[in-house]
Amino acid sequence: MIDVYAWRTTNGLRATIAMAECGLPHRVIPIDLGAGAHKTPEYLRINPASQIPAIVDPDGPGGQPLMLAQSGAIVLYACQKAGRHLPADPADFARAMQWCMQAASDIAGTSAAINQVENVAPEKVPSTIELFRKRFLRYFGIAEKQLRDQQARGHDYLAGPLSFADFMLYPNYALRRDALPATDFPALAAWGDRMAARPGIQEGMRLHTEKNSPKA
Ligand SMILES: N[C@@H](CCC(=O)N[C@@H](CS)C(=O)NCC(=O)O)C(=O)O
């Protein structure tokens, strides 16, 4: 049984989605960031970076316990452990890695920046807000094009078959879909609907859907 320490944020939801989609026995342990649960001595022993998500797999590689942080590492670990959602075609795998990195770095960073400049910073600077909003739309414009290209190849997902790349991007889409209208992003919206219909995605998103959540 893998312990998944998460909260209802994009990074946390990537981990819960991947565990559910991979069919790995796990339990989700909510770490309430607002209440400072990520700062307790017990949690710092699991992730000294004081961030979610993190996992503890008592039956890790070689039968040894494994503690792991970083949403991208956790998503890939789940897929490798289960032997699922890893594109067999090397070009598809390389594209999945590209989208995994894009979600983990550029998109996650921009989403966090939007939250900072719109909600946290005491002074709202319109030009800064505009900068990050435009950047966010530019990245999702690339995702829209990627999904259209995949459709032309007869595929429904970012890198051919459903893969870890889709699990990485989906929470960033789902938590900010109000900024990504279907009229402007039709392939993305259709992808979002396909993802949302999956039982594993629904299970992984439960942390979020049960209560309104922060967006970063
Ligand atoms: N690069 C990390 C980012 C993790 C992260 O920023 N987690 C946030 C929640 S989404 C957090 O725990 N923030 C609390 C803090 O930094 O104090 C990942 O992909 O897992």
157 and 191 Cβ atoms separated by less than 8 Å = yes
CB 31 within 8 A of CB 52: yes
Q: What pLDDT is attached to residue 209?
A: 85
Atom number in ligand 1 closest to CA 12: 10
Average pLDDT of the residues in 127-133: 96
Residue 5 banded pLDDT, cuts 50, 70, 90: very high
What structural domains does the chain harbor?
A: 2-84 (3.40.30.10), 90-201 (1.20.1050.10)
Does the Cβ of 47 fall within 6 Å of ligand 1? Answer: no
By most ligand atoms within 8 Å of CB, the mutation choice from 51, 107, 175 for ligand 1 is 51
Name the band, by pLDDT with cuts 50, 70 and 90, for residue 120: very high
Ligand 1 pocket check for 51: Cβ under 6 Å: yes
pTM score, two decimals? 0.95
The pLDDT of residue 66 is above 70: yes
In this predicted structure, the answer to whether residue 216 has a pLDDT above a threshold of 70 is no
Instruction: Identify whether the C-beta of residue 25 lies closer than 8 Å to the C-beta of residue 2.
Output: yes
**Interval 75-86: pLDDT, tens:** 999 999 999 999
Ligand 1 centre and the CA of 49: distance in Å? 9
Query: Is the beta carbon of 11 within 6 A of some atom in ligand 1?
Result: yes
When pLDDT is averaged across residues 122-151 and rounded to a whole number, the result is: 96
Question: Residue 87 pLDDT more than 60?
Answer: yes
State the DSSP code for 66: E
